[in-house]
Amino acid sequence: MLIFVALLGLLAGCNSDEKIPEAKPANTSQALGDKDTLDKEDNKQPPVEDETVDYSKFQGVWKLKTVVDEELYSLTAMMEYLGSTGIQITEINGNEVQGNIYSIQGPPSYRQATVSFSGVIEDGKLTTTYEDTGWEYTGIMELEFREKGILAKITRDESEFPAMWGIPEGEFTYIRAIETEKVQVTTEEKEALEEFLATTSKDLLQPFAEGALTDENMINFVSHSLALGKIDLSKYGDKVILGPDIVFEESVLDDITKRYFNSTVKKHQAYALGTYEKGKYTVPALGGVTEYPELQLLMQDQDNPEIYYGIVDYVFEHPLEGKNLEYQYLIKLQKNGDYTIKAITEIEYPIDFSLFIS
């Protein structure tokens, strides 16, 4: 299990008797992502001029930008599984700002630290001292408000007795959090969503970014899904002919891509599998077994209630080894009656949900 504090690194002096589930943490310097990433994108923007900036847009929650599994860590509902480090801007009045920076270790300890800050933003920057009364240390923080995020430079004052925990020191980038809540899913809803996602295994559909699906992606997806019998064709009547080859009209392909992605292809043609001629596709009927999905968690976007995020395990039944996890996806969904798929990202460090009590 990946725990968020593994990305931050435990501070010296943590209780060595406390047992934490093993993880496969990313390299700290790679995982956190320093200010260079945002600088390269943002330095092209004109300098901040206080009289033209509406700082109220920064109010809300910002999460630490990571190099691995960035979108996953930006989901606020994941805090109980991964821990969290973030900035909460609670109030902005003109150039005056109030908020706090917090760091919460992942399970089982959930050790946490919070420091409050306030001050005046000048030329896009806020510099202030801070004090963590809980873990007994002080320091200086500098927050730089950019168009695409907040850059933070955090230092601690030297102390005879270093704190055993606290907010991280260093230079970090914080990005806007996606405020989400867990959805309680019934057994029937879970089974229906897993049946819908049975076509999203790697053999049929590779992960894709939002808005990046091409005609080739969608045509190959439908062709391979139908060849393997993953989609029920009974409702299409004589638009589909079943046999050693499966022949289907292009309108069938359009209906399936509309159902799965709320999109249709611009130009019909054959790609990796089968042929296309006179408005009809022909693909061979194939055998074989692919991994199947198991929904682990469903979250709803609180600012965009039609948007959902699912964490899905893809497992395979091995004859000798039994059920094994092959990979884990974060799937962005949109629900307008039925679900459609907006994006799929493979989670680099899968979460073992069996370690958590439902």
Residue predicted with more confidence, 1 or 247: 247
Residue 18 clears pLDDT 60, i.e. is over it: no
Residue 357 clears pLDDT 90, i.e. is over it: no
Residue 29 clears pLDDT 60, i.e. is over it: no
Give the pLDDT confidence of 196-218 residue by residue, as tens digits: 999 999 988 999 999 999 999 99
Q: How many CB atoms lie within 10 A of CB 24?
A: 10
> Shortest CA distance to 147 belongs to which of 62, 248, 53?
53
Residue 109 clears pLDDT 90, i.e. is over it: no
Q: What pLDDT shows up at residue 173?
A: 95
In this prediction, residue 333 has a pLDDT band, given cuts at 50, 70 and 90, of: very high
Mean confidence (pLDDT) of the chain = 85
Q: What pLDDT shows up at residue 161?
A: 82
Q: What pLDDT shows up at residue 5?
A: 34
DSSP state of 146: E
CB 280 within 8 A of CB 269: no
Task: Look up residue 233 and give its amino acid.
Answer: L
Q: What is 226-267 written as a DSSP string?
A: HHTT-S--GGGGGGEE-SSEEEEEHHHHHHHHHHHHS---SS
For residues 112-127, average pLDDT: 93
Cα 205 off chain centre by: 18
Residue 33 clears pLDDT 60, i.e. is over it: no
Alpha helices (runs of H) in 28-172, residue ranges in sequence order: 28-32, 35-42, 70-74, 79-82
What pairing do the DSSP bridges indicate for beta strands 112-120 and 125-132? Answer: unpaired
Give the pLDDT confidence of 53-97 residue by residue, as tens digits: 789 999 999 999 998 999 999 999 999 899 899 999 999 998 999
CB 132 within 8 A of CB 166: yes
5-9, 95-99, 337-341, range with the lowest pLDDT:
5-9
Q: What pLDDT shows up at residue 8?
A: 36
Task: Quickly tell me which residue has 């990313």 as its tokens.
Answer: 26
In this prediction, residue 48 has a pLDDT band, given cuts at 50, 70 and 90, of: low
**Helix or strand run (H / E) with residue 4:** helix 4-8
Read off the tokens for 239: 């638009």
Give the pLDDT confidence of 163-189 residue by residue, as tens digits: 888 988 999 999 999 999 999 999 999
Q: What is 269-324 written as a DSSP string?
A: ---SSSEEETTEEEEE-------EEEEEEEEEESSSTTEEEEEEEEEEEETTTEEE
**Dist. CA 229–CA 248, nearest whole Å:** 13
Residue 290 clears pLDDT 50, i.e. is over it: yes
Residue 12 clears pLDDT 70, i.e. is over it: no
- According to CATH, the topology of domain 4-178 is Lipocalin (2.40.128)
For residues 327-334, average pLDDT: 97
Residue predicted with more confidence, 273 or 53: 273
**Angle between the 250-261 and 215-227 helix axes, to the nearest 10 degrees?**
100
Q: What pLDDT shows up at residue 36?
A: 47
In this prediction, residue 194 has a pLDDT band, given cuts at 50, 70 and 90, of: very high
**Helix or strand run (H / E) with residue 101:** strand 96-104
CB 157 within 8 A of CB 138: yes
Q: What are phi and psi of 345, to 5 degrees?
A: -125, 130
Which residue ranges make up each domain of the chain?
Answer: 4-178, 203-284
**Dist. CA 40–CA 51, nearest whole Å:** 25
In this prediction, residue 51 has a pLDDT band, given cuts at 50, 70 and 90, of: low
Q: What are phi and psi of 340, to 5 degrees?
A: -130, 160
Q: What pLDDT shows up at residue 106?
A: 79
Alpha helices (runs of H) in 22-94, residue ranges in sequence order: 28-32, 35-42, 70-74, 79-82
In this prediction, residue 9 has a pLDDT band, given cuts at 50, 70 and 90, of: very low
Read off the tokens for 17: 């008797």
